[in-house]
Amino acid sequence: MKMTERFQVRPGQKVDLRQYDPDFTAGLKSKTDARRRLKENIDRLAELQYLLYAENKHAVLLALQATDAGGKDGTIRHVMSGINPQGCRITSFKVPSAEEADHDFLWRIHKAVPGKGEIGIFNRSHYEDVLVVRVHDLVPRAVWSRRYAQINAFEKLLADNGVAILKFYLHISKAEQKARFEDRIREPRKHWKVNPKDLEERKLWDDYMAAYEAALSRCSPAHAPWFIIPANKKWFRNLAISEILVETLEGLDMKFPPPMCDVSKLVVK
Ligand code: AMP
Ligand code: MG
- The residue ranges of DSSP E strands in 153-235, in sequence order, are 163-171, 226-230
The proportion of the chain whose per-residue pLDDT surpasses 70, expressed as a percent, equals 100
For residue 95, what pLDDT is reported? 98
pLDDT of 52-110, one tens digit each? 999 999 999 999 999 999 999 999 999 999 999 999 999 999 999 999 999 999 999 99
Measure 94 CA to ligand 2 centroid, in angstroms.
Answer: 9
Q: Is residue 118 lining ligand 1, measured as CB closer than 6 Å? A: no
Number of the ligand closest to the Cα of 201 = 1
Mean per-residue pLDDT of the chain: 97
Q: Print the domain residue range for 42.
A: 3-265
Rounded CA-CA distance 38/162 in Å is 27
Ligand 1 contacts CB of residue 122 (under 6 A): no
Other Cβ atoms less than 10 A from the Cβ of 141: the count is 9
Q: What atom of ligand 1 comes closest to residue 123's alpha carbon?
A: 2
Q: Is this model's pTM higher than 0.85 or not?
A: yes
- Residues 71, 33, 232: CA angle, nearest 5 degrees: 25
| pLDDT value at 3 more than 90 | no
Q: Number of folded domains in the chain?
A: 1
Ligand nearest to C-alpha 69? 2
Residue located nearest, by CA, to atom 9 of ligand 1? 94
In the prediction, which pLDDT does 112 show?
Answer: 98
Average confidence (pLDDT) over 23-31: 94
> pLDDT value at position 160?
98
Long-range contacts of the stretch 32-38 (C-beta < 8 A, 24+): 34/235, 34/236, 34/238, 34/239, 35/235, 37/239, 37/243, 38/78, 38/235, 38/238, 38/239, 38/242
Residue 36, pLDDT > 90, answer yes
| pLDDT of res. 84 | 94
Of the candidates 197, 194, 215, 9, the residue with the CA atom closest to the CA atom of residue 128: 215
Q: Give residue-wise pLDDT tens across range 150-189.
A: 999 999 999 999 999 999 999 999 999 999 999 999 999 9
Decide whether any atom of ligand 1 lies within 6 Å of the 94 Cβ.
Answer: yes
Average pLDDT value for residue range 192-205: 97
Sign of the alpha-carbon torsion through 138, 174, 92, 113: negative
CB 245 within 8 A of CB 41: yes
- Identify the residue whose C-alpha is closest to ligand 1 atom 22: 95
Is residue 105 within 8 Å of 129, Cβ to Cβ? Answer: yes
- Asked whether the predicted pLDDT for residue 2 surpasses 90, the reply is no
CATH code of the domain containing 235:
3.40.50.300
| Ligand 1 atom with the shortest distance to the CA of 129 | 19
The ligand that comes nearest to the alpha carbon of residue 93 is 1
Index of the ligand 1 atom closest to the CA of residue 105 = 19
Distance separating alpha carbons of residues 155 and 165, to the nearest angstrom: 8
